Amino acid sequence: MIPTSIGLLSELETLKLDGNSLRGEITETHLTSFSKLNDLDLSHNSLSLKFVPGWIPPFQLIGLRLASCKLGPNFPNWLHNQYQLCGLDISDAGIHGSAPEWFWHKLPLLIVLNMSHNNFEGSIPNLQLSFQLDAYFIDLSSNQHEGAIPSFFLHAESLILSENKFSDVSTLLCGNDTTAGLVYLDLTNNQINGHLPDCWDSVNTLLVLDLSNNKLSGKIPPSMGSLNNLKALVLRNNSLTGELPASLKNCTNLFLLDVAQNLLSGPIPSWIGDKLQQLTILSLSENHFSGNISMHLCYLEHLQVLDLSRNNLSNRIPVCIKNFSAISQRSFNIADGGPDFSLVLYIVNITLMWKGADSWFKDPEFSLTAIDLSDNHLSGEIPKEIVYLAGLHSLNLSRNNLKGEIPSEIGNLTSLDFLDLSRNELCGKIPTSLSQIDGMGVLDLSNNNLSGRIPSGGHMDTFGASFFEGNPNLCGQQLNKTCPEDMKPAKPQEPTTHDDSDFYEGLYMCLGFGFFTGFWCLLGPLLFWRAWRIAYIRLLNKVTDYIYVMVALKIGR
């Protein structure tokens, strides 16, 4: 705990105790003697500030940082008497309700304001404030603010309003304020609805614009093409329709373009590859894009993440994908020819289908490389040129109509951690070179027409039967199925008669009985009875005489 005797240090101008394990209460008794104090930082401790109502501090602070300290539930009214504040951080302070109007009138003096991760609610009044200098940083994220975004926020350089309930952005953008110097605008996870306003030329200083996870509808307005300084444009998870406006080709500095999870349609524009050649991340997934994968995309030498999954794309995968030179390298150094990623307070967030599930990545070093063309109508063979992408970490071509064999040299992709070729019409054997990829965590070849032995050895033995099922002609230990060449030839069996012995025994008995009956019934009487023997000889003589006469008559004629 901080003892009250700290007040004996009455000459202190700066008191920084942030990032420790301090606990307990701070009262006015601790601070009454600090008449010269101008910088106070108690952030990231377990402290609770409890001042009597109406307390007036003896000091005038320039910087005050109380992040993660408990100030609430009410707004700290003692700030009303601080007239020189330039930096204020009261984030995660347990404050409820709304900030009083007098507080917003202090905003023109503030350079840094962080009130994130509280429970502020209600709308912010759209005041007419006079700014001599633009605020550098304003963060009101993770609160319950609602309604329209006031136009005076345009005077911030970095404005983070994510995780609120704001519903209207037109007041901010279309207020005819020509002094805007906005560079970074984050409005993710709000309730902004309706069409995007078509007055983006008022904020043409923007470098980063993130409107993901809202309720936007309609077409992307053409005026967004006036944001020619823009480096990152994220419109993910809305209900935007129509085609990508051609005016976006003017945003030649873009390194991140993410319009995934919308209702966009039409072909993938060729100008993406022709004009946006600084692109490093391109995500158009979960839309209604159709037609071919444009060969112009192959001009994107810096591209490291390409996600075109869950669309209506058809025909072949272009062989020119080997031109993605950033992916063809096993290591990528931003300083060596890569685009400039130095953005104010911006960490790139990307969502990809990774190992069978949508995953979220914070990747400021851009070490991730991925190609996802899954769940389309692609046909033809997997281009052999894909084996040149030696730095690729994730390749997903599943749920298409791909045919032919898996490229035999696919083992050259030694950086692969995820490979999904399932639910296609691939045939032939599984290349043995796959066993050379030591770091592969997931391999899915199920539901194809593959045949022969599954390669064994190394990590290949760790994949279960589910990753190979749906290939009736596959065999190997992974499927617990013996291959034909492993079966020992059967020894010829000697003929056996014991099964038919009863039949032959009966046959022989019948033959013997018939011989016995015929002998004794016909020949027996001739041998033992003299009258039968004389009659039999006379019959033979008559037959002989008759034959002799008939033959003589024939000769005489």
pLDDT at 2 over 90: yes
Q: Percentages helix, strand, coil for the chain, rounded to the nearest 5?
A: 25, 25, 50
Per-residue model confidence (pLDDT) at position 533 = 62
Domain 313-369+379-488 -> CATH class = alpha beta
> Residue 519 — very low, low, confident or very high, per pLDDT cuts 50/70/90?
low
Across 133-137, 447-451, 480-484, the highest mean pLDDT is recorded for 447-451
Percent of the chain with pLDDT over 70: 80
CA nearest neighbour of 282 among 240, 315, 326: 326
Among the listed residues 48, 11, 53, 3, the one whose alpha carbon sits nearest the alpha carbon of residue 29:
3
Q: Answer yes or no: is pLDDT of 127 > 60.
A: yes
- The answer to whether 135 and 113 have CB atoms below 8 angstroms apart is yes
Please check the confidence at residue 457 and state whether its pLDDT lies above 90: no
List, as one string, the DSSP characters of 301-327: TT--EEE--SSEEEEPPPGGGGG-HHH
What is the model's pLDDT at position 335? 35
Quote the mean pLDDT of the chain: 86
pLDDT at residue number 328: 83
Query: 496 with 476: CB under 8 angstroms?
Result: no
Mean pLDDT of 512-533: 60
**Overall average pLDDT of the 79-90 stretch:** 94
pLDDT at 110: 92
pLDDT at 211: 96
pLDDT tens digit sequence for 287-305: 999 999 999 999 999 999 9
Residues 251-266 have pLDDT tens digits of 999 999 999 999 999 9
The pLDDT assigned to 367 comes to: 72
Distances (CA, A) of 60 to 26, 35, 85, 226, 501: 18, 8, 8, 43, 119
- CA–CA dist 161, 517 (Å, integer): 117
Query: Is a pLDDT exceeding 90 seen at residue 143?
Result: yes
pLDDT tens-digit readout, 458-471: 788 888 888 999 99
User: Which amino acid would we find at residue 509?
Assistant: M
Quote the percentage of the chain above a pLDDT of 90.
Answer: 65
Least confident range from 20-24, 150-154, 486-490: namely 486-490
Q: Are 81 and 105 in contact (CB under 8 A)?
A: no
Task: For residue 427, count other CB atoms closer than 10 A to its CB.
Answer: 15
Mean pLDDT (whole number) for 160-175: 92
pLDDT 10s digits, 175-215: 766 567 899 999 999 999 999 999 998 899 999 999 999 99
- Average pLDDT of span 528-551: 64
Confidence band for 479, pLDDT divided at 50, 70 and 90: confident
Residue 344 has pLDDT above 50, yes or no: no
In this prediction, residue 520 carries a pLDDT of 57
Residue 383 class from Cβ within 10 Å (0-12 exposed, 13-18 middle, 19+ buried)?
middle
What pLDDT does residue 346 have? Answer: 56
